[in-house]
Amino acid sequence: MDEFELIDQIFHRPEGLSSQVAIGIGDDGAVINVTAGKQAVVVMDTLVADVHFLESQSASSIGHRALAVNLSDIAAMGAVPRWATLSLTLSEVNENWLNGFADGFFELAGRHEVALIGGDTTAGPLAACVTVGGEVETEGVLRRAGAQPGDFVYLSGRIGGAAAALSSAEGYADPVLHRALCWPQPRTELGSALGGIANSAVDVSDGLLADLGHVLNASGGLGADLEADSLPLFESAVALLGRRPALELALGGGDDYELCFTTPKNRHQEVLETGHRLGQELFRIGQITERGGCRILGSELDLDAVSAGYQHAWPRSKA
């Protein structure tokens, strides 16, 4: 068996294919049945060794992450994920590593009913590129544009944990922070449930200030007043680093993959009920303002410094 047969064998899992997949891996392309009346959503994200993950990380957490960051984008669009393609570039063929990667990838894919339908493997510096396709009803699409002054701003979970794990060896060793960094949980159920409730949504991959900033810009140059005391920090991060640094990491650090979304005030109850129904803790963190720019009420942080300081924190800190 040559190396490419080995790889085919590891990634060819027909049992994971839904009835939506007419032709999966093994031809020149995959063929998918589309659902009448829905739109297709497509996202793509690449992870490069020593830039988006550490080669020392467990292979299964890399496989998990490669899919998770894409599912998070699907969630931020309000869609339900259906299929994925995976392009793996490998500097060497290590069967143990490949099995670990596949375990992490397929465990998450199975939980979200996502079928791996194709891709390729090439020789070269270690990297994984994933494309995910999903479906959404037109009225359920969540855009970055759409926030309105007066809207409440929500987060789907705690933030700053991944950045805290990257900030020190103690952070990386803390099990809760390590999990936030290496095993991010995409909020796809919540994302698709928010269609018709939320005005706008984004996933927090680059940091809350940066990603909420995309929403504010796309919504016509609005602003947001966030309450420092309402920002959901990781207790471990506060215990390890102190409150102010933990708050800075929550605002400027990325990689948490929580959803940040806005809704009109009068839908607050509906938001809470949606969270309850899904068993998903939700945090109201502030309000959209007509005046542009973000303010963090109850803190004296220099937000420009916070944003600038953590841009590309993950790549540069370990590369």
CB 160 within 8 Å of CB 232: no
Nearest distance in Å: CB 36, its own copies: 6
H/E segment holding residue 250: helix 243-252
Determine, following the binding rule CB under 8 A, whether residue 255 of this chain makes contact with its own copies.
no
Cα(269)–Cα(241) distance, rounded to whole angstroms?
35
| Residue 17 in the binding site for its own copies (CB under 8 A) | no
18 binds its own copies (CB under 8 A): no
Q: Which of 57, 18, 32 lies closest to 255 in space, CA to CA?
A: 57
Q: Does 22 sit near its own copies (CB under 8 A)?
A: yes
Residues 173-212 that bind its own copies (CB under 8 A): 201-203
Please select the residue that binds its own copies; options are 1, 15, 29, 92, rule is CB under 8 A: 29
- Choose, by CB under 8 A, the member of 32, 177, 180, 231 that binds its own copies: 32
Decide whether 129 or 228 has the Cβ nearer to its own copies.
Answer: 129
104's torsion region: left (phi>0), alpha (psi -120 to 50) or beta? alpha
- What single letter denotes the amino acid at residue 212? L
Bridge partners of 129, per DSSP, are 46, 87
Which region, left, alpha or beta, applies to residue 266 given φ > 0 means left and ψ of -120 to 50 means alpha? alpha
Q: Where in 46-105 is the site for its own copies (CB under 8 A)?
A: 46, 48-52, 73-74, 76-77, 79, 83, 85-87, 89
Report the C-alpha gap between 293 and 302 in whole angstroms. 13
14 is an interface residue for its own copies by CB under 8 A = no
Tell me: does residue 256 bind its own copies (CB under 8 A). no
CB of 194 to its own copies, least distance (A): 13
Which segment (18-26, 234-242, 269-277, 289-297) binds its own copies by CB under 8 A? 18-26
Are 87 and 122 spatial neighbours (Cβ–Cβ below 8 Å)?
A: yes
Asked whether 30 and 17 are in contact (CB, 8 A), the reply is no
Sites of contact with its own copies (CB under 8 A) = 22-23, 26-34, 36, 38-46, 48-52, 73-74, 76-77, 79, 83, 85-87, 89, 117-120, 122-125, 127, 129, 131, 133-134, 136, 138, 141, 143-144, 201-203, 218, 315, 319
